[in-house]
Amino acid sequence: MTERSPSDAARLTSRALLDIKAVNFRPDDPYTFTSGRVSPVYIDCRKIISFPKQRSLIIDLAVELMRRDIASLDAVAGGETAGIPYAAWLADRLDLPMLYVRKQPKGFGRMAQIEGDLGASWRVALVEDLATDGGSKINFINALRTAGATVSDVIVIFHYGIFPQSVATLAAQGVRLHALATWRDVIREARAGGDFSEAVLAEIDRFLDDPDGWAARRAAR
C-alpha cells in the first residue's frame, strides 16, 4: 500500500473520529481538563477501541507516521490507561517489545512504575491517545528515563493543537510530539462533510482562535 501523506492521514483520522461520534460539542456546559482549562469541544479517543474498522485504519496511519518520522526504536510504551491499547497494537504491527507506564509506582510487590521488560538504554516512544497542553506526558517520560530509557518521541492520535505550550513543554525536555490530527483538521473535515451546523462550527472556531478568551467570556456571563 502507498504511504499516505500527513495531510491525507489527518483527513482520514478526522473522518474516522467524526464517524464514530468521538467529537463532542457542549458550549453551555463546557468540559474541564485535568489542567483546569475549559473547552466547549471534546475528543473521546477511547471510543476508537470499540470500532474495528476505524481502529485498524488509525493504527495503519500511526505506523506510517512512525516509520516516516522516527528513525529507530527498541520498544513502544503506553501511558496508563488510555495509551496502553494503542501501544499494544503499534508494538504488534512494528514487531517491537511493548511496555506500559503507570502514573505512579504500584503500591505493593516490586513497586513498579513500568511494566514489561525494559532493556538498558533502549530507545522508547511513548504512546498516548491525545495531547492538550502536553503536561501529563512529562511524568511518563521521566519514569522511562529514570529506568534508563532514551525517550525522544511522543505519538498521539489527536493533538488539540491550540496551546503552544503543548509542543514547547515537550521540546524543552528534548521530545518531539507527533500527531495524526488536530482540531483544525477535524473542523475542516466536519465542514466538508456537513457533520455539524455552521453555527456550531463558528462557535468552535471562536474557541480555537482564542481558547483563553473564550473561557474568560463565558466565565463573565
Lowest mean pLDDT segment, chosen from 86-90, 112-116, 136-140, 162-166: 162-166
Rg (CA), the chain: 18
**Element (DSSP H or E) covering residue 157:** strand 150-159
Residue 197: alpha-carbon gap to chain centroid: 26
According to the model, what pLDDT value does residue 106 have?
Answer: 64
Domain locations in the chain as residue ranges:
6-219
pLDDT, tens digit, 9 for 90 and up, residues 107-140: 543 557 899 999 989 999 999 999 887 778 999 9
What integer is the mean pLDDT of 26-46?
86
pLDDT at 2 over 80: no
Local confidence band at 66 (pLDDT 50, 70, 90 cut-offs): very high
pLDDT at 154 over 90: yes
Highest mean pLDDT among 48-57, 133-142, 192-201: 48-57
pLDDT at 181 over 90: yes
Residue 43: alpha-carbon gap to chain centroid: 10
According to the model, what pLDDT value does residue 56 have?
Answer: 97
pLDDT at 141 over 90: yes
Stronger pLDDT, 131 or 90, i.e. the higher one: 90
pLDDT, tens digit, 9 for 90 and up, residues 207-221: 999 988 998 888 777
According to the model, what pLDDT value does residue 105 have?
Answer: 79
CATH number of 6-219: 3.40.50.2020
Are 118 and 99 a contacting pair, CB within 8 Å? yes
Residue 176 CB-density burial (10 A; 0-12 exposed, 13-18 middle, 19+ buried): middle
pLDDT at 74 over 90: yes
According to the model, what pLDDT value does residue 55 have?
Answer: 97
Between the alpha carbon of residue 21 and those of residues 50, 51, 54, 161, 166, the distances in Å are 12, 11, 12, 20, 25
- Measured CA to CA, the distance from residue 113 to residue 102 in angstroms comes to 5
* pLDDT-above-90 percentage for the chain: 69
According to the model, what pLDDT value does residue 98 have?
Answer: 97
Are 13 and 51 a contacting pair, CB within 8 Å? no
According to the model, what pLDDT value does residue 109 have?
Answer: 39
**Short-list 85, 29, 36, 33, CA closest to 62:** 85
Query: How many CA within 13 A on the CB side of residue 15?
Result: 11
Query: How many CA within 13 A on the CB side of residue 115?
Result: 15
The residues that bridge with 130 in the sheet, in sequence order, are 158
